Amino acid sequence: MKRALKILLIVIAAIIIVPLVIALFAKKDYSIEKEITINRPLVEVFDYVVILRNQDNFSVWMDMDQDVRQYFRGTDGTVGFVSAWESDDKNVGSGEQEITAIIPYQRIEYELRFIEPFESVSQAYMTTEALSDDQTLVKWGFTGKMNYPMNLMLVVMDFEGMIGNDLQTGLENLKDILEQK
């Protein structure tokens, strides 16, 4: 009986300790970037994406909960504008996104502050580049860091793939919206 209990305790300890040791050596940083070409002029595309509220029209995250509560602070399309959300859906959670920098007709940077289901801060950006008078390349990126031991999620889940798929779907939605104008 003592031997079986000892073996059971060793197995339980291994189940707890092994993932924590793996997390010590696992990467902590992640970076995802997706892109799409939109058949519209640069000015038109940038003027649309710089308005943070427009993300509700193309981002997949707001579609996850039709009852999400949103709050806004500041002047949309300017540095310092904040879009906050609260949802009872654990896939949406709560947090806020703030425009932190704008390089007109080139780049918009955001800070994403997630509160629930877990706290984290990530950086995001959108860039626009004219490929021709009527074509614009749009890139949407997301970078961040998961501290130990949460970085174990980067090992056991395809976190970058999941976020990347959401960004790509959002870009495809954006293309549909802007090309229908």
User: Which structure tokens are listed for 130?
Assistant: 């004219």
CB 174 within 8 A of CB 38: yes
Please indicate, yes or no, if residue 125 is contained in any of the structural domains: yes
Report the alpha-carbon distance of residue 136 to residue 144 in Å, rounded.
Answer: 26
Closest by CA position to 50, among listed 112, 113, 105 = 105
The reported pLDDT for the residue numbered 65 is 83
Q: Determine, yes or no, domain membership for 14.
A: no
Structural domain including 120 reads 28-179
How does pLDDT run across 120-142, given as a tens digit for each residue?
888 999 999 999 999 999 999 98
pLDDT band at residue 179 under the 50/70/90 scheme: very high
Domain annotation covers residue 20: no
Terminal-to-terminal C-alpha distance of the chain: 75
- Chain mean pLDDT for the chain: 87
pLDDT number for residue 152: 59
Q: What single DSSP character describes residue 58?
A: H
The 8 Å CB, 24+ separation contacts for 110-115 are: 110/52, 112/142, 112/144
Q: Which residue has the tokens 């904040």?
A: 82
Look at residue 82 and tell me whether its pLDDT is greater than 80: yes
Of 9-13, 40-44, 163-167, which gets the smallest average pLDDT? 9-13
Please check whether residue 12 lies inside any domain of the structure. no
Total domains, the chain = 1
Identify whether 146 is part of a domain: yes
Across residues 75-90, what is the average pLDDT?
94
Residue 167: inside a domain: yes
Burial 16-36 (b: 16+ CB within 10 A, else e): eeeeeeebeebeeebebebeb
Give pTM, 2 decimals.
0.81
Residue 79 forms part of a structural domain: yes
Looking at residue 148, which CATH number applies to its domain?
3.30.530.20
